[in-house]
Chains A and B, each alone.
Chain A
Amino acid sequence: MTETQPSAHSNGPAPRKRSTRSPALRRLGRGVMPWLYLMPALIVFTWFKFYPMISGFLMSFYEVKFYDPSVWVGLDNYRAILHDSALLVATWHTIIYVIAETIGAAVLAFFLALALEGPARHVRIIRTAIFVPAITSVAIIAELWRILFNSASYGLVNSFIGLFGIPPQGFLTDPSQALWVLILMSIWKSAPYDMVIFLAGLVSINRELYDAADVDGASRLRKIWHVTLPGIVPAISVVVMLSFIRGFRVFTEVYATTGGGPAGSTSTIMTQIYKVGFEQLNYGYAAAVSFLLLLFTVLMTILHTVLKNRFFG
């Protein structure tokens, strides 16, 4: 009997070593192990994200004092938001910024992606070159744009338009133009990022659909409309969503170029929060606005997920 056992084992799978732990201990191990792996990230996130978020949320119900105990004000900070005309203007600017930047960057990115798809080497080099703005520090980009759009007559853009007889423009110093120059800068910075998402979307389109459209007699424009665009709807939705979230939280781009000026013409929700919080030191109010912005962003994300699942799930 004992002699036959090894040969039986050698035919089947290798015998498993029996665990000496009790089932209850094993279950506990299985429950705890994943958390142990997550622990480092959780500690960092708790300290730098979750704690400040909760702390900010609580702060929004207080009048924060630095040398005395803060005073509970209930929903006063939230009520004040309704009557804050400066915030209303900043919100309006933000909405214009978000819509114009999203559409501008997405359209530019789409045509860049169409022009630059394919495996050819020169195309790869151009694609990489075009991606550079997306990975350059906003502070550097802001400095470049300040030089480009210098309001003096010798400014680069002013010199160029001067060739066509157009007088020097104020650009970032002109309240009616500053927001649009800012939007242009953001489009320039975001388009390459969107382009990469579109390129990934284009790759997933079945090439035979283009052949079918060719045989059916579709023009180039029709092929874009009936094959390309429907094929990259998921990519479009990702681009729009990311652009919306990015846009509503825009801060660095504005702060590093105009600081919200001139005359508040480029103030956005985030620069307004910064101004109220860190310049006027009204932490409670700034926290309330921040919390509403967070809530709005989360709602947008949920809406996007629901829509995406309903139509493309």
Chain B
Amino acid sequence: MGAVTLSNVSKSFGAVKVIRDVSIEIAEGEFCVLIGPSGSGKSTLLRIIAGLEEATQGNVFIAENDVTDLPAKERDIAMVFQSYALYPQMSVRENMNFALRLARRPKAEIEAKVQEVAVMLGLEELLDRLPKELSGGQRQRVAMGRAIVRNPSVFLFDEPLSNLDAKLRSQVRGEIRDLHQRWKTTSIYVTHDQVEAMTMGEKIVVLRDGRVEQVGSPLELYDFPESLFVAGFIGSPAINMIEARVGDQGRALSLAGTAHELPLPEGYDLQSGQEVVIGIRPEYIDVADAPDVGTLPATVHAVESTGSDTTVICHSDMGQILVASKARSALRDGDQVALRVREDKALIFDCATERRILPRV
């Protein structure tokens, strides 16, 4: 068991800086997800923690030991790779016990451990097969088994579900969560899929261009994103962003490109004329029965339904607006609708800094 601390870690490849002064604290037993778009440095950061990549600056601590200069094998970590990275010429059993064999552990102990983990993951029948004889899901489980067998202080996952189909992905997601509940081993999980991050992480670290954009619990990031980037990255369907200017002596928000106004939510102290972006999650916009004071006119462009959720995609003078609800919709393309925004749920961002403006309370 071990907490993981990154202290001012930076990494450059030649002149290109991929990690810029990152400091993160991951508590013992915590499940932490590193998320960000391609090129945000999340995989590089995981490789630095693993010892597969050297940090240009800064320190990495595992269980309060400075492991910055230690090779991967001495860091007491185990890693599950995107491609699973199973040795193709070795059977499932040999793949799982390879690290223990290299560590020259007693044969009986190796056999017992492999057997125990194989039973836990339902791999007993597959122990003598080669990786090429397994399905994608089975390979994924072997890769996890190989990591678990070593009983490490920290598990590292590098986009382990990206090669699985949607159904299997949600199943394995549940399995990883259950395993973590059971073992309570510190886990660091890299993904670009925000659904994975939201459903698995106890703590999510959002990375952008090699910097930490925000750290928080899934719902903190969803409800109180600190920047436009996090607001846009977390949440599906995506948050609505409407440009506006503070008017009416700081009491209303004039929506850009229209004559419409929204009342400024309570508690904000904004200068008249200040340029802002209003962020509203799609579930906080309703389709009103009829145009009214405070509603915004829009035209239905498309209606997407997954059965349980419905998203109405509208076009308006403010741009595209998404409306999400649990109820089925009878709207059709081209229908004129009036949208009612729940201003109390609106998030307000400074247009220039892209940071969220906090209310006074």
Contacts and interface: CB of A to CB of B under 8 A. Distances in A.
Interaction A to B: yes
Interface stretch (A63-71, A192-200, A211-219, A288-296): A211-219
A208 interface: yes
Given A216-B99, A217-B102, A222-B102, A230 B82 contact: no
Contact of A215 (B52, B82, B89, B90): B52
Interface string B44-84: 00010011100000000000000000011100011101110
Closest 3 CB pairs of A and B: A217-B73, A212-B85, A208-B85
A215 B83 contact: no
Tell me the dominant secondary structure on chain A's binding face: helix
Interface in A193-236: 206, 208-209, 211-212, 214-218, 222, 226-227, 230-231
A236 to B, nearest CB: 13
A212 B88 CA distance: 12
Given A208-B81, A222-B102, A214 B52 contact: yes
A209 B146 CA distance: 13
A230 B89 contact: yes
> What interface size band does chain B fall in?
20 to 34
Interface in B80-104: 81-83, 85-90, 98-99, 102-103
Contacts of B85: 206, 208-209, 211-212
Interface in A281-307: none
A217 B78 CA distance: 10
Contacts of A226: 87, 89-90, 98
Given A208-B83, A209-B85, A227-B87, A216 B102 contact: yes
A214 B87 contact: no
Contacts of B82: 208
Contact of B71 (A206, A209, A214, A227): A214
SS class of chain B's interface: helix, strand, loop or mixed? loop
Contacts of A230: 87-89
B72 A215 contact: yes
Contacts of A215: 50-52, 72-73, 77-79, 99
Contacts of A208: 81-83, 85
A208 B157 CA distance: 13
B52 A216 contact: no
Contacts of A227: 87
Given A226-B87, A230-B89, A211 B98 contact: no
A235 B37 CA distance: 37
A23 B52 CA distance: 65
Candidate in A211, A216, A222, A231 with the most chain B CB atoms within 10 angstroms: A216
Contact of B79 (A209, A211, A231): A211
A210 to B, nearest CB: 9
A230 B89 CA distance: 7
Contacts of B73: 214-218
B43 to A, nearest CB: 11
A218 B102 contact: yes
Which residue among B72, B78, B82, B90 has the maximum number of chain A CB atoms within 10 Å of its CB? B72
Interface string B20-51: 00000000000000000000000000010011
A217 B99 contact: yes
A191 B218 CA distance: 57
Nearest to A206: B83
Contacts of B79: 211-212, 215
Interface in A162-211: 206, 208-209, 211
A226 B50 CA distance: 21
B39 to A, nearest CB: 18
A211 B79 CA distance: 9
Nearest to A214: B72
A226 B88 CA distance: 10
Contact of B103 (A209, A211, A214, A217): A217
A41 B324 CA distance: 67
B83 to A, nearest CB: 5
B230 to A, nearest CB: 30
A155 B81 CA distance: 57
B87 A209 contact: yes
Contacts of A212: 79, 81, 85-87
Contacts of A206: 83, 85
Contacts of B72: 211, 214-215, 217
A215 B103 CA distance: 12
B81 A216 contact: no
A211 B102 contact: no
20 contacts: A206-B85, A208-B83, A211-B47, A211-B52, A211-B72, A214-B51, A214-B71, A214-B72, A215-B51, A215-B73, A215-B77, A215-B99, A216-B98, A217-B73, A217-B99, A218-B73, A222-B102, A226-B87, A226-B89, A226-B90
A313 to B, nearest CB: 11
Contacts of B99: 215-217
A19 B50 CA distance: 66
Contacts of A214: 51-52, 71-73
Interface string A86-105: 00000000000000000000
